[in-house]
Chain A
Amino acid sequence: MTVKLTDEEKRMLDGECGSVRRTCMAYLVEMAEIAGAERLIDLDGTGDMHTPGLSLSPFYEITEDELRELVENKDYFKIPTFADKSPFPENSPIDGWEKCNVCNMRRADCRLDDPEYHKKAMKEETYELLRKLGVMTSHSCANYLTMGYLPSIGQHCSWFESSQIPYCNAVLGARTNFDGSFATCFLGKAPYYCMHLTENRLGTVLIKTDRLIQTDLEWDVFGYAVGAEVRTAVPVLTGTAKPTTTQFQKLNSAIHTGGAVSMYHIPGSTPEAPTLEHAFGGRKPAREALIGEKELRAAYEYLNYHDSDEVDMVYLGCPHLNLVDIMKTVRKLEGKRVKIPMWVMTNHWVYPAALEMGYVKALADCGVTLMSGACFAAMGAVPEGVRSIAVDTAKQANYVTGCYPEAGGHLQVCYGTTDECIDAALTGRWRGEWR
């Protein structure tokens, strides 16, 4: 074993601090060895994990009995920890499941709108135990907007979910790798490598553009194209406007879909890059790349994947929609009626706020269903009979067709602006284009 452990960590590994800490520590030591990390770091920020999360991997498992024992001993998670989207592996919507008409994994015995199946999928007994241990069941894929308790600049965290990793590092200036799990959050420790070290957070690739990036769609397409260009590097984005919160959501989900970008800088906008020079730590960029009109159009054409303008269904809410965007959607639809099914997906904690604001009813009056906790890609399916969807998000456009590989991918995806998606919901036709 090459990983250096403290005396306390060794005691955990030896089982002196209970079986759960032993399992978690063994898992972390294995992770550190694979990653080439010399030691673990004590986390002082927040955690995000897919839940229930008792299976750390096929080789490390925590049992329900062990969980119960932790509760009886009044044990608790070391760092404030939030649940990612709907319980795994079913990924059933939490609110609005009754109307979803989805067979999970396309298996006839996994109907997500079956009350019995839903009850089982929610795993209430397990969640009650997790809540007693301190886990907050927000069930959000955008916990950075949901948790109401953000890590501060420089704090060490352990998060999961591709879109959240760059949000934590680049937008909040906190430090996380893609490793949020029961083990990291319960012990408050993670392998010390990659994003926890300052030198790995400095910019390496200078990104220029010849089109001012300022609309939601431009940020989404730009993020996807930058991710695909730089892969695992740290890009420094120049030539853009200042992103809104919604646009940061778009950028972060797209940049870790097109690539595996854990960190980026926008000089003047993100906290570790007050200037271009700071972004690169005073060094010269390893290379420059242009993500201009030509590259943006190519990314848009990849994401906008259909040969018919007929749309069966519209989906908004990837990442889970924030309250402001729900309000805007309500304003745009008021007094109208959709012609085809339309879902708006948020998370389980924003849903009650939307209910209180009257948005759930307002959307229902337009024929639109507000739901929480899931998404098409996570459910591994679209509703039965749907062959063409309209979305305003690169991440969903990129993943959802993978669920239907037969005949070269028979699910069609119309991709464009939120307004173009709403227009499709009202008309059943796609009229979007790259302008």
Chain B
Amino acid sequence: MRKIRIKGRCEYPGRVEAEALVSTAPLQGFTNVDIDLGCTTERDHPLFMVPYEGKVLVFPSARGSGGFQKYGRGPHHPAAFIHTESSPLNVLCCLHSHVPSMTDFERDPMEVIETGDMVLVNADEGYIEITKKD
């Protein structure tokens, strides 16, 4: 099994291993996420109605409303967040969710992680370790 380790910055601490769900497009909260369903409801989005519960949610950046923090709320929240670009929207999400979160990686995780890969998020020690599904 091929393993790839990438160093990054801890936004919210924790250590968790779970399957990756990769969003090729930025994620937007507020009305475009449904915390009771546990999926994005943004029309024409690659993850439209795809459940994120228990996954390591990998995405390029957050966009739009401060309601992005809803991604971390409710019983169906992801196991961890990994994102390429950071913004105050991600800070709000960490504050409201206390879900492990990492950003500012030495190599863009979007280029490495595919949906279905296993990802160890070790925010406590500042790295992620990807086990490729193939």
Residues of A within 8 A of B (CB): 27, 30-31, 34-36, 57-59, 160-162, 177-179, 194, 227-228, 231-232, 256-260, 262, 302, 305, 377, 380, 398-403, 405, 408-409
Task: Count residues of B near A (Cβ-Cβ below 8 Å).
Answer: 37
Taking a contact as CB atoms under 8 Å apart, the answer to whether B89 and A178 are in contact is yes
B 30-69 binary contact with A (CB < 8 Å = 1; else 0): 1111100100011110001100000000001111111000
Chain A residue contacts of B31, Cβ below 8 A: 377, 380, 399-400, 402-403
Query: Nearest Cβ distance between residue A97 and chain B, in whole angstroms?
Result: 20
Contact of B30 among A305, A399, A409 (CB under 8 A): A399
- Tell me whether B6 is interfacial, beta carbon within 8 Å: no
Report the separation of the CA atoms of residues A147 and B92 in the bound assembly, to the nearest whole angstrom.
25
Taking a contact as CB atoms under 8 Å apart, the answer to whether A399 and B32 are in contact is yes
Taking a contact as CB atoms under 8 Å apart, the answer to whether B44 and A231 are in contact is no
Taking a contact as CB atoms under 8 Å apart, the answer to whether B48 and A399 are in contact is no
Among the stretches B15-23, B94-102, B112-120, the one at the interface with A is B94-102
Contact of B43 among A160, A262, A305 (CB under 8 A): A305
Chain B residue contacts of A228, Cβ below 8 A: 63
5 nearest A-B residue pairs (beta carbon): A405-B41, A402-B31, A402-B32, A178-B88, A402-B41
Q: Given A162-B64, A400-B31, does the pair A36, B89 have CB atoms closer than 8 Å?
A: no
Taking a contact as CB atoms under 8 Å apart, the answer to whether B43 and A31 are in contact is no
Report the separation of the CA atoms of residues A305 and B26 in the bound assembly, to the nearest whole angstrom.
20
Q: Given A260-B87, A380-B31, does the pair A31, B95 have CB atoms closer than 8 Å?
A: yes
Report the separation of the CA atoms of residues A59 and B92 in the bound assembly, to the nearest whole angstrom.
13
Taking a contact as CB atoms under 8 Å apart, the answer to whether B91 and A31 are in contact is yes
Contact of B34 among A178, A194, A377, A405 (CB under 8 A): A405
Residues of B within 8 A of A (CB): 9, 11-12, 26, 28, 30-34, 37, 41-44, 48-49, 60-66, 73, 85-89, 91-92, 94-96, 98, 101
Q: Which residue of chain B has its CB nearest to the CB of A36?
A: B9
Chain A residue contacts of B64, Cβ below 8 A: 162, 256-257, 260, 398-399
Taking a contact as CB atoms under 8 Å apart, the answer to whether B32 and A260 are in contact is no
Report the separation of the CA atoms of residues A380 and B96 in the bound assembly, to the nearest whole angstrom.
20
Taking a contact as CB atoms under 8 Å apart, the answer to whether A259 and B12 are in contact is no
Report the separation of the CA atoms of residues A408 and B49 in the bound assembly, to the nearest whole angstrom.
9
Taking a contact as CB atoms under 8 Å apart, the answer to whether B30 and A232 are in contact is no
What are 17 A-B contacts with C-beta separation under 8 Å? A27-B95, A57-B96, A179-B88, A194-B88, A231-B26, A231-B61, A231-B63, A232-B61, A256-B64, A257-B65, A258-B63, A259-B63, A377-B30, A377-B31, A402-B31, A403-B31, A405-B48
Taking a contact as CB atoms under 8 Å apart, the answer to whether B66 and A162 are in contact is yes
Contact of A409 among B43, B63, B91, B101 (CB under 8 A): B43
Query: Nearest Cβ distance between residue B118 and chain A, in whole angstroms?
Result: 26
Taking a contact as CB atoms under 8 Å apart, the answer to whether A227 and B63 are in contact is yes
Taking a contact as CB atoms under 8 Å apart, the answer to whether B65 and A399 are in contact is yes
Chain A residue contacts of B91, Cβ below 8 A: 31, 34-35, 179
Query: Nearest Cβ distance between residue A84 and chain B, in whole angstroms?
Result: 10
Query: Nearest Cβ distance between residue B71 and chain A, in whole angstroms?
Result: 13
Query: Nearest Cβ distance between residue A210 and chain B, in whole angstroms?
Result: 25
Q: Which residue of chain B has its CB nearest to the CB of A231?
A: B61
Taking a contact as CB atoms under 8 Å apart, the answer to whether A402 and B44 are in contact is no
Taking a contact as CB atoms under 8 Å apart, the answer to whether A232 and B96 are in contact is no
Taking a contact as CB atoms under 8 Å apart, the answer to whether A260 and B43 are in contact is no
Chain A residue contacts of B42, Cβ below 8 A: 402
Taking a contact as CB atoms under 8 Å apart, the answer to whether B86 and A232 are in contact is yes
Q: Which residue of chain A has its CB nearest to the CB of B94?
A: A34
Taking a contact as CB atoms under 8 Å apart, the answer to whether B98 and A232 are in contact is no
Chain A residue contacts of B9, Cβ below 8 A: 36
Q: Which of the listed residues B44, B86, B91, B92 has the most CB atoms from chain A within 10 Å of its own CB?
A: B91
Chain B residue contacts of A35, Cβ below 8 A: 88, 91
Report the separation of the CA atoms of residues A260 and B87 in the bound assembly, to the nearest whole angstrom.
7
Chain A residue contacts of B49, Cβ below 8 A: 405
Report the separation of the CA atoms of residues A42 and B30 in the bound assembly, to the nearest whole angstrom.
30
Report the separation of the CA atoms of residues A354 and B75 in the bound assembly, to the nearest whole angstrom.
44
Report the separation of the CA atoms of residues A35 and B95 in the bound assembly, to the nearest whole angstrom.
10
Chain B residue contacts of A408, Cβ below 8 A: 43, 48
Report the separation of the CA atoms of residues A57 and B69 in the bound assembly, to the nearest whole angstrom.
10
Q: Which residue of chain B has its CB nearest to the CB of A60?
A: B95
Report the separation of the CA atoms of residues A35 and B86 in the bound assembly, to the nearest whole angstrom.
9
Report the separation of the CA atoms of residues A35 and B101 in the bound assembly, to the nearest whole angstrom.
11
Report the separation of the CA atoms of residues A260 and B63 in the bound assembly, to the nearest whole angstrom.
5
Chain A residue contacts of B85, Cβ below 8 A: 231-232
Additional A-B contacts beyond A178-B89, A377-B30, A408-B43 (17; CB < 8 A): A36-B11, A58-B73, A59-B98, A160-B66, A194-B88, A231-B26, A259-B26, A259-B63, A260-B26, A260-B62, A260-B63, A380-B31, A398-B28, A399-B31, A405-B43, A405-B49, A409-B41
Chain B residue contacts of A377, Cβ below 8 A: 30-31
Report the separation of the CA atoms of residues A400 and B32 in the bound assembly, to the nearest whole angstrom.
8
Query: Nearest Cβ distance between residue A378 and chain B, in whole angstroms?
Result: 9
